Structure 1
Amino acid sequence: MIAAGGEPTNLGRQGLRASRFGLGTAPLGILPDLVDAAAAQRCLERAADLGIRHLDTAPFYGAGLAEERLGSFLAERDATQFVISTKVGRTVCQSVDGRRATTVFDFSRSGILRQIDESLRRIRVDRLDIVYLHDPDDHWPEAIDEAWPVLAELRAAGLITSVGAGMNQAGMLRRFVQETSMDVILLANRYTLLQQYEADALFADCAARGVSVVLGAVLNGGILATGAVPGASYEYQPASASILERVARIEAVCRRHGVPLPGAALQFAAAHPAVSSVLVGAKSAEEVTLNLDAARYPTPSAFWAELQDLGLVGADRPLPP
């Protein structure tokens, strides 16, 4: 029987096996209303109970807090039963006023080595499965000339199994795939029900080079979970009128077929043959359950056919079976 997290898939060239759906821990560290430690623990426990074996974090999420909470969870478990990914490119430090922790970009060699050491300490492991360069959009020279060689060296030394880059854009990720020996990429917001074509060239390059694709933010920052409600968030900003109108049209089709909007969004993203795993954030055990239930919800072929007939899903897009 397949666990709720999905049938395991290959992730990268180094033999990692991850659940089809993974848990993104950003909501456990950085929220307008931060969840408490007990709720974070319950969230991670529920994910594990439901078969999720892919856990993603980063120093940026709460200036190390999400990593620390993941570490507390792993302290009483066999961490080798999970694929753990984190990121480099931001160093946790004190703010100018010295009263709170924050992060600053740093893709230097010394910065990357320091960040890796600190992440190992916070997560409470002695090695890492995946490490991504995190949002190097404005730091290409430093990321490719200083940060990337460090990750390649640590991979060769066995401290990291697979290395990659995580970004909200396809263009620079494509350069990384073409110019390095990365194993895996994390693409956020760029392959969703609302963004269906921007990643095609990137996905083709990944397939040609054996690079695995992990998707994040497939609910586009919230609107594909909440629907076209007032104040809905699209890519971390208030949704425009055109986005609200498109989502409302998708919702209407969902209602006609009894399909939950988040289920359609999660299943559409996971259906692409280039995609190995889809990360879904959650801030509570209940959200983990709701997300996985949506991901497994039976969606009839007539539902997808109507979305295509209305031009809401491209006729050439891969669809769930």
Structure 2
Amino acid sequence: MAIKQRKFGRADLTVTDMGFGAAPIGNFLKPISEETAAAMIERAWAAGIRYFDTAPLYGHGLSELRLGQALRWKNRKDYVVSSKVGRLLQPAPRESIDFAPWVDAAPFAIEFDYSYDGAMRSLENTLQRMAIERIDIAFIHDCDVFTHGAKQQAIYFKEAMKGCYRALLKLREEGVVKAIGVGVNEWQVCHEALKQGDFDCFLLAGRYTLLEQESLDAFLPLCEKRNAAVVIGGGLNSGILATGAVPGAKYNYAPAPQPIMEKVAQIEVVCARHKVPLPAAALQFLLAHPAIAVHVPGTRTVAQMEQNIAWIGHPVPSEFWQELKQARLLREDAPTP
């Protein structure tokens, strides 16, 4: 079995090294049927995946509803769930809600709320939507520049540390959750949070990949020192590390710029020489760093789920990684399998 169990940093949790990222089943960009969502979760379970990540944002609650439905009658001791705080959902008429980038989402308007009470209410609402008795990991969601812009981010980050963080500390002390963290799009925000707070873990979207290793400078070493676990989302940089440097390839949700296209094309040449699929290299690279406990690739179909499972089990020779480093396509200090 390609999927293995791993200790989740210093927390009293064990996760599988590949998780199920439940953003797509919130109907990200285009709808996924109830049947397909349920089938993907069942296939993940059959493959041995036991870590599932969701959030109120995903489909305005739809992801949590669907994931809860699929997990409800499984033995609660057998799996780990993470969700997030920082937004509250309010029932509203569908026609009044801006759902973008979600399609056919649940009829709830979203408002940011990084307060203490907001975090408590958010987690309670998540439990209600999922109809399971507990969440194992709670992340403070999107208190980053990508979401808010630089000026507003500084304000929201302070609010989150004063509000959400204190709430999650209390919940961890009471044993309501086993681990607390921050889930954002920039390693710098994670690094600042780890310097300021007693966090167990981080969910970092797209900022440690085969194309990006800046987080090796300060953030990942501090995680190692503190034994803080890292969950990697967006390990394929939202597309290009799955498709390769093809016309229209996406990099971080936008058309890939020319320098990225050129770098990926160079990596593909090395892949071809060693008979390694590019996505197999991209996904296996993530797990080589000792601070990274799990990665959560998002999938839209059962076929994509099958493909991810095959990629993480595909043989990759050590000479492949050596050649990438010699060609300066990968940082010399980046851990490799």
Distance (Å, rounded) in 1 between the aligned partners of 2:116 and 2:25: 29
Aligned to 2:201: 184
Give the structure-1-normalised TM-score.
0.95
Alpha-carbon displacement from aligned partner over 1:262-292 (angstroms, at most 9, x marks no partner): 1000111111112111111112222111101
Aligned to 2:142: 135
SS of the equivalent of 1:77 reads coil
Aligned to 2:217: 200
Alpha-carbon displacement from aligned partner over 1:33-64 (angstroms, at most 9, x marks no partner): 21101100010001010011111011111001
Aligned to 1:45: 42
The worse-fitting range, judged by mean Cα deviation, of 307-316 and 78-87 is: 307-316
Aligned to 1:172: 189
Distance (Å, rounded) in 1 between the aligned partners of 2:111 and 2:239: 26
Question: How much has 1:243 moved relative to structure 2?
Answer: 0.8
Identical positions, percent:
40
Q: Which of 24, 29, 37 does residue 26 from structure 2 map onto?
A: 29
Question: How much has 1:95 moved relative to structure 2?
Answer: 6.9
Q: Which of 86, 91, 108 does residue 88 from structure 2 map onto?
A: 91
Aligned to 2:52: 55
Question: How much has 1:194 moved relative to structure 2?
Answer: 0.5
CA contact (8 A) 2:86 2:119 kept: yes
Aligned to 1:315: 332
Query: What is the identity, as a one-letter code, of the residue corresponding to 2:38?
Result: Q
Give the structure-2-normalised TM-score.
0.90
Any stretches of 5+ residues in structure 2 without a counterpart? 98-106, 145-152
RMSD over aligned Cα atoms:
1.5
Distance (Å, rounded) in 2 between the aligned partners of 1:168 and 1:192: 13
Aligned to 1:160: 177
SS of the equivalent of 1:163 reads strand
Aligned to 2:315: 298
Aligned to 1:5: 3
Distance (Å, rounded) in 2 between the aligned partners of 1:31 and 1:227: 22
Any stretches of 5+ residues in structure 1 without a counterpart? none
Distance (Å, rounded) in 2 between the aligned partners of 1:297 and 1:220: 20
Aligned to 1:283: 300
SS of the equivalent of 2:214 reads coil
CA contact (8 A) 1:74 1:124 kept: no
Question: How much has 1:260 moved relative to structure 2?
Answer: 0.8
Aligned to 2:273: 256
Query: What is the identity, as a one-letter code, of the residue corresponding to 2:192?
Result: R
Q: Does 1:112 find its partner at 2:119?
A: yes
Aligned pair in 2 of structure 1 residues 252, 102: CA closer, same or farther (>3 Å)?
Answer: farther
Alpha-carbon displacement from aligned partner over 1:174-197 (angstroms, at most 9, x marks no partner): 121122111111111111010023
Distance (Å, rounded) in 1 between the aligned partners of 2:79 and 2:56: 19
Aligned to 2:132: 125
Matches within 5 A, 1:209-228: 209-228=226-245
The worse-fitting range, judged by mean Cα deviation, of 167-176 and 17-26 is: 167-176
